Amino acid sequence: MNKLTKLSLAVVIGSLMMPAFASKTEPYTQSGTNAREMLVEQPIHWISVDQIKKELEGKAPINVSFDIDDTVLFSSPCFYYGQQKYSPGKQDYLKNQDFWNEVNAGCDNYSIPKQIGADLIKMHQDRGDQIYFITGRTAGKTDGVTPVLQKAFDIKNMHPVEFMGGRERTTKYNKTPGIIAHKVTIHYGDSDDDILAAKEAGIRGIRLMRAANSTYQPMPTLGGYGEEVLINSSY
């Protein structure tokens, strides 16, 4: 084989090994993404129930608190119903005491318990931890929420739900007084206010993911305050 033939063959082989680059025929109109970008993980501190359990092994029982809506219950149907009845297309219903009286009286019988809530609560109860529910809801005339939660999650030593909405406070975030009063060590919640209330109280706040079809919009940024985020926690 002469030198020219060898050179030609090398060029052919080299060209076959080189990646092909396709040029855009039209400029993109949306940001979009690609397979490589999709593989880039965001700097989020993911954590699992098993990891939390292992971290707590050998430690004395603690007090833990949970937000309710989008944390342990998928309660969007109640809020959707309330909006349609009291302020269609607006958020004014959240300031209407009639809505809170109605929703807290028993609407949560139709809310769906989240599996992640059941898993977390079981893990903590098996350790002997005390469970508290601290919500931003405004209290109604009747508390139908406490019995629903007790039954849904088989709470052994049920404490009444703390309704923090509308309460007078000296803290920036409305759940902070409840967290402090019950000497909570870990607070679980889906909202920014949950994480910020935990920070204000000086305790560990762990974020749960909100279901994509929740009525509570816009969606929060997971890990936006450097908090841990529970993996697979949207359901």
Residue 126 Rama label (left phi>0; alpha psi -120 to 50; beta): alpha
Q: Residue 126 belongs to what domain range?
A: 45-230
User: Does 12 map to a domain?
Assistant: no
Residue 149 is inside which H or E element, if any?
helix 145-153
- Non-local (6+) Cβ contacts of 1 within 8 A are 9
* pLDDT, tens only, 61-106: 999 999 999 999 999 999 999 999 999 999 999 999 999 999 999 9
Report the CATH number at residue 121.
Answer: 3.40.50.1000
User: Does 19 map to a domain?
Assistant: no
**Would you place residue 7 in the very low, low, confident or very high pLDDT band (cuts 50, 70, 90)?**
very low
Active site residues: 67, 69
User: Does 130 map to a domain?
Assistant: yes
* pLDDT, tens only, 119-158: 999 999 999 999 999 999 999 999 999 999 999 999 999 9
Query: Considering the entire predicted model, what is its pTM?
Result: 0.84
User: Does 120 map to a domain?
Assistant: yes
Residue 50 burial class via C-beta count within 10 angstroms: exposed 0-12, middle 13-18, buried 19 and up: exposed
